[in-house]
Structure 1
Amino acid sequence: MKHNRYPHLVVDTDRSESLTSTTGAVLLRKTMQIAGLDTALSAALMPWTTSRTVHHPAKVLLDLATAVAVGGDCVSDLAIVRAQPALFGTVASDPTASRLINTLAEDSTAAVAAIRQARAHCRERVWARRRPLEGRPGSFDGGQVIIDLDATTVTAHSDKEHAEINYKRQYGHAPMCALLDHGQYGTGEPLICDLRRGGASPQGADLHITTLSAALDQLPAGERGQVLVRTDAAGCSKEFLAHITDAGLQYSIGYIVSDTIKTALARLPEQAWQPAIDTHGEPRLDAHVAELTSTIPALANADAPSWPAGMRVIVRREYPHSGAQLRLTDIDGRRYTVFATNTRGTGWTLPTLELRHRQRARAEDRIRNLKDTGLANLPFQAFTKNQIWLEIVCLATELLVWTQTLCWGPHATIRRWEPKQLRLRILAVAGRIIHSGRRQLLRLPTNWPHLETITTGWTALHTT
């Protein structure tokens, strides 16, 4: 048998080469320029700029976002970017970056609003260059913008301001997120990530209305006509659904399996059930859907506000998979999942509506990606500083997603890559910067397995 061994190498501590690491981040830098993040943030953060400013606040925030995008999770990771001036220019020191965050945190409300205004402007530019969604803007079928609202827990391993124990017995904070779903061919964008104290409830109409309004402000004006709002049962309140209906939007909201629902299920005839489908449109084994709207008795008395007109209640039943933890709401061994929607029209069958609601699980993927891009741990003790950090996390995530959108085709596999894959295969490649005439050239290793993917992305950024 042939034995393959690792080559025996010795690190030469007396000499180093002029190599540049993470050169794949040149795609992030070019995306930043195309989106206009540098100019938009510079204008938005002008009130925090003085005549003695050496490092512009916009450049510092973008350098921090770049450091987080390539794998950093705190201010000190800015050293990775600072060590490569040929690629990223002059980068502020850690104390300078910390002082800027201190300054922005003194009026975090105004600073967050300014950063979000710049992000919304740049999102409109990116979408005008290449729309990340299928279909036509504003169209009901295919071009619809889907916004998922969901709260998550960011654990704290030290005593941070407003870190509390939540209902899950976890200690930390509970940010509320509004996440845009790119569909089956892409990932998604973080529209809003609002930091909240750890004990804050994930329920409440006011919370969801405020988050949705801020998320809509992040969308290009031409994309706000056809929006679908998805949440779990925490968002199922009469006031929130009425707000969505009055705004002319669609919703697909989780619904609690209450005694009222159980009574309606008992009245439902067996022939009302239809086979549920998977993502390929094929029937799922032992999974069925049905509409409960006509079998639900009055949900409130005459003096109480009613549910909005046009609301439909749809239920899915299936046997829990092997190893799944059973719930109190399971009936006769079957699990029932209920949701409310106001979507009607040709082509929107019960199985299709149920599949669309089930795809709300993609929000968990988006949150996992956020936690892999700086959200896993909040680096500061002060609550207002961590609010600024969440905006940096959103900037870093958007840099990655916009790069995927602009560099590669709408159905390219790389559009679905998560941050870890992008960093390992695209951003982590080392290269050498050489001077030829009046030009600076970045040369990449010829044997890098994803070299063609990088060159394709670079070409697209210059030609699209």
Structure 2
Amino acid sequence: MLLAQAADRVGVADAIDTALGDRQKPNLVHTTGHTMTSLALALAIGGDDASDIDLLNPLVGTGLIDKIPSDSTIHRRHHELHDSGDEDEHSAELIDDASTAAVLSGMKTARTTAWRACRARNPATTATIANPLVVDIDATEVASHSDKEKAMPTWKKHFGFHPLTAIIDHGAGLTGEPTAVLLRPGNAGSNTAADHIMVLNQTMNSMPDHVDGHDWGRRLLVRTDAAGGSKKFINHLDQQGLAYSVGIGTFWQVADIASTLGGKVKQGIIRPDGTVSDIDDAYVADITSRVHCWAGEPVGITLEDYPPDMRFIIRVEHAASGAQLRTTDLDGRRIQMFVTNRNGHAQRLDELHRARGRCEQRIRDVKDCGLGKLPHTAFRMNQAWAYSAMLAMNLISWAGLITAATPPPSTTSRQWWWVWEPKTLRVRMLSIAGVVVRHARQLSIRFDGAAAHRELLEHGLSRLRSTA
């Protein structure tokens, strides 16, 4: 009921149907928006196939939610989205089309409603240039155990797909929201600027507007690993006026520059526990000026091809146990580098860039909500399935954001259910038993009083109702 009420609160089903408009058949009992939302609910509570829509039958039988589509109806809706798209004959990837734009537009409407329910903690209000809203772009692998359309060997020698995802990072004490999932063949490359630009465009189409009505600009930070460190993508971010923190491959001149740095340039690394490392052991440094005046000789990249305000930040530390050192490393220490257009101390910029590790966990969460198993044979039908998996994770995120805006007064950080993994959430809260009671023409639910997390569940439901 927690996620069903969240879906009803943000109106995601009606928002998707409104955005699709005439692109779906009239007089449908189970519209595309309703079907996607029902499937998303089933995936969020542990389903991994269209037939798992039956997990919602108890809620239908007790009158808590409306009737649900059958698994064959889900296949038909996905096939309709499959037929309505366009595909470039020179590319195996999904390209922007009317149906994709409509689904993302519907999610934008629902996300806007969810963020407004956070009131003072609305991410579209709190984002500033000094404290931007972060979007992580990263790829993952989805294995395929049968020969599906465009399933191919991956760079890790597996077989399946190589989707590219974009996920909003709300911070360590909050959750993350997937904004785009671009399904790609398994042999899709990592440094594909066109795919990164497409995912970024889809993200901007599903992002609520900033409350002041102006463009996001540098109040939105795009963060990627070295796979996004292509010249084309970095210049695109600069042209869009967005802030960026992008990993980039090192070149041999960086090691020479690092070996000549003085102690005044080096700054200790901020560890996860808040302590700062000794610069003799590990450090970060801004080497922008040294890269630009490197002895009058060319460096590993052509600086004129990049934005003029791009800064180079290096991180030098001992490699993890068993890690293979590279020729560009220095004195047995690993050198990593990222570029950014943000102001501030190098150690703070590095701390923010390293926080992109949370994206890995959030990708696992999306895969646990349905992306990890693509059931269809057709490629574009699996892309439609990926939208439902994205919506399933968003329902958890939206319910969590609304609840976190006014948490229960007695909760501790260990009880912040909005940062739990989906499996943990299902075991601790979504599986709490309840009895439906009918009295005075009203339906009431009485939850198991012995359940350890009953109060958290009741507060979440109450919070969703109070924001309606």
Q: What TM-score, normalized by structure 2, do the two folds share?
A: 0.87
Which residue matches 2:282?
287
User: 1:442 is matched by which residue type in structure 2?
Assistant: I
Indicate which of 129, 138, 142 corresponds to 1:140: 129
TM superposition shift of 1:301: 11
The letter for the 1-side match of 2:324 is: L
Aligned equivalents of 1:198 and 1:172: distance in 2? 5
Report the AA paired with residue 386 of structure 2.
L
2:310 aligned partner: 311
2:90: which partner in 1? Answer: none
Number of residue equivalences? 434
In structure 2, what is the Cα distance between the partners aligned to 1:457 and 1:303? 53
What is the Cα deviation at residue 127 of structure 1? Answer: 1.0
437-446 vs 221-230, greater mean Cα deviation:
221-230
1:445 and 2:448 are equivalent in the alignment = yes
Residue 251 of structure 2 corresponds to: 258
Larger RCO (CA under 8 A, 6+ residues apart): 1
Paired position in structure 2 for 1:90: 67
Q: Which residue of 1 aligns with 2:93?
A: none
Picking from 56, 63, 67, the partner of 1:81 is 56
Q: What's the CA shift for 1:55?
A: 2.4
Shift of residue 134, structure 1, vs aligned partner: 6.7
Out of 151, 157, 161, the residue aligned to residue 169 of structure 1 is 157
Structure 1 gap ranges (5+): 1-25
**Is the partner of 1:92 in helix, strand or coil?**
coil
Question: Deviation of residue 270 (structure 1)?
Answer: 4.5
Matches within 5 A, 1:235-254: 235-254=228-247
Q: Distance between the aligned counterparts of 1:282 and 1:302, measured in 2?
A: 34
Percent identical: 33
Report the more deviating stretch, 89-98 or 194-203: 89-98
Contact 1:267 1:295 in 2 (8 A): no
Contact 1:380 1:386 in 2 (8 A): yes
Choose the corresponding residue for 1:155, options 114, 120, 143.
143
Q: Structure 1 residue 29: deviation in Å?
A: 1.5
CA gap 1:319/1:301 in 2 versus in 1, 3 angstroms:
closer
- Runs of 5+ in structure 2 lacking a partner? 86-96, 408-412
Is 2:65 the partner of 1:65? no
SS, match of residue 282 in structure 2: strand
The 1:52/1:221 distance shift into structure 2, 3 A limit, reads closer
| 1:408 and 1:456 in contact (8 A); partners too | no
Separation in 2, partners of 1:70, 1:299: 55
AA aligned opposite 2:185:
R
Q: Residues 78 and 368 from structure 1, CA distance in 2 versus in 1: closer, same or farther, beyond 3 angstroms?
A: same
Pairwise CA RMSD? 2.3
Q: Describe the shift of the 1:382–1:113 C-alpha distance in structure 2 as closer, same or farther (beyond 3 A).
A: same
Structure 1: distance between partners of 2:442 and 2:130: 48
Mark the structure with the bigger radius of gyration: 1
Please give the alpha-carbon distance, in whole angstroms, between the structure 1 residues aligned to 2:45 and 2:225.
32
- Equivalent residue runs for 1:18-417 within 5 Å: 26-47=1-22, 49-51=24-26, 53-85=28-60, 86=62, 87-108=64-85, 109-130=97-118, 136-142=125-131, 144-222=132-210, 224-225=216-217, 226-284=219-277, 286-296=281-291, 297=294, 305-321=304-320, 323-328=321-326, 329-344=328-343, 348-409=344-405, 413-417=416-420
Check the 8 A contact 1:268/1:295 in 2, yes or no: no
Residue deviations 1:368-422 (CA, integer Å, cap 9, x gap): 1111111112111110100100100111010010011112346762232121121
How far is the alpha carbon of 1:84 from its aligned partner? 3.0
In 2, Cα distance between the equivalents of 1:51 and 1:363? 40
Rate the CA distance shift 1:140–1:262 in 2: closer, same or farther, 3 A: same
User: Does the aligned pair in 2 maintain the 1:300–1:306 contact within 8 Å?
Assistant: no
Aligned to 1:435: 438
Question: What TM-score does the superposition give when structure 1 sets the normalisation length?
Answer: 0.88
